[in-house]
Amino acid sequence: MALIDTYRHNVTRKRDEIAKLTSDKAKEKDKIAKARTRIDNANSAIGRTKNASTIKSKLRDISNSEKDITAAEKRISELEKKLSKAEKDLAEEQKKVEREEEKAHKQRMKEEANMQKKTQRQISDLNRTMQAHEQIQDEMQSQIQELQKLPENITVLFLAANPIDTPSLRLDAEARSIQETIRKSEYRDTIRFETRWAVRTSDILQVINEVNPDVIHFSGHGASNGDLAFENINGEMKLVSKEAMTQTIMTLSDKVKLMFFNACFSSTQAQSIVEHVDAAIGMNTSIGDEAALVFASQFYSSIGFGKSIKTAFDQAKAALMLEGIPEETTPELYVRDSLNAEDIVLVKP
């Protein structure tokens, strides 16, 4: 909740408190009025009778009513103190609201002024480039065509391998967390999340051809030289070099936009393969289980909200910092030379 919304909520709460206190005070005054009426009625009754029992009863009524008046007056005094404090608090909260509104107004004015300056610069730049109008039109047409290539729906292929002769990883937790964050995202219906487990080297091309993904995500172990640990027929480790993975991706269509290597020392894989896909993510050193899970989950959550790859990558790093996991410098993002990471949007709003 924004600070100004908090202050506005406090103003509303204080007004409600004042309204209740005022109502309670009115009730106490009503009690006093009724008690005084009972006293007047009792005095009148005493004046009309000589019966000792009746007089005694009416005097008792008068005494009880006077006690009620005293109690009500005490309660009114307490309520007035609370009212005074609440009104003072209300005034303070209203001042806070006014200060925040003034700040927001100044910020809007500043942003508008900056926008005007930016617009003027853009107009000047446009005037200076009128001679290259035809070239600009060609570039714009090319950009439009690239935007039109954005899929209405995308498929993320999650490849997991944890050979029996390697340390155990929480790959199932990572996949489950990614699915949950995608499900909570704004454009969740545009993302299909496919998982494949205990992936062998012989499975790679088969499953990619079957799923025809837009994003290929590998989670597992990586060797210090950048090789990835898949499984052989016995479930034991079989390393795949960056050259082999690059050759594999070269054989695919240009539908694959992103390669995500969530494995230790996989940045060399990402750097090598980005010549054949729009973007790739890898790790420049070892990465912990929790860091891998948090980073990947937030990345796909941001993608699901229609964010660019650059924004999703930066938000995923921020998620690590928010969780107090000191590994935000481990992930690396690589983008094809002709592209800008801020312009690559996988999920079309």
What pLDDT digit, counting tens, does each position of 166-220 carry? 999 999 999 999 999 999 999 999 999 999 999 999 999 999 999 999 999 999 9
- pLDDT of 165 reads 96
The pLDDT confidence band at residue 297, using thresholds 50, 70 and 90, is: very high
Cα(127)–Cα(327) distance, rounded to whole angstroms? 47
Contact 226, 242 (CB under 8 A): yes
Residue 190 in tokens: 């545009």
Residue 342 in tokens: 């801020």
Q: Are strands 279-283 and 331-335 parallel, antiparallel or unpaired?
A: antiparallel
> How many other C-beta atoms lie within 10 A of the C-beta of residue 258?
26
Question: Averaged over 11-24, what is the pLDDT?
Answer: 90
- pLDDT of 146 reads 63
Does the pLDDT of residue 45 top 90, yes or no?
no
Look at 297 and 8; give whichever has higher pLDDT.
Answer: 297
Cα(156)–Cα(178) distance, rounded to whole angstroms? 10
The pLDDT confidence band at residue 149, using thresholds 50, 70 and 90, is: low
One-letter amino acid for residue 102 of the chain: E
pLDDT-wise least confident of 64-68, 80-84, 141-145, 324-328 = 141-145
As beta bridge partners, residue 200 has 231
Cα(268)–Cα(282) distance, rounded to whole angstroms? 7
Look at 197 and 6; give whichever has higher pLDDT.
Answer: 197
The pLDDT confidence band at residue 160, using thresholds 50, 70 and 90, is: very high
- pLDDT of 144 reads 65
- pLDDT of 139 reads 76
The pLDDT confidence band at residue 283, using thresholds 50, 70 and 90, is: very high
Does the pLDDT of residue 243 top 70, yes or no?
yes
**Which CA distances in Å does 284 have to 73, 222, 270, 331?**
75, 11, 10, 6
Tallying the residues shown for the chain, one arrives at: 349
The pLDDT confidence band at residue 147, using thresholds 50, 70 and 90, is: low
- pLDDT of 267 reads 97
Contact 245, 201 (CB under 8 A): no
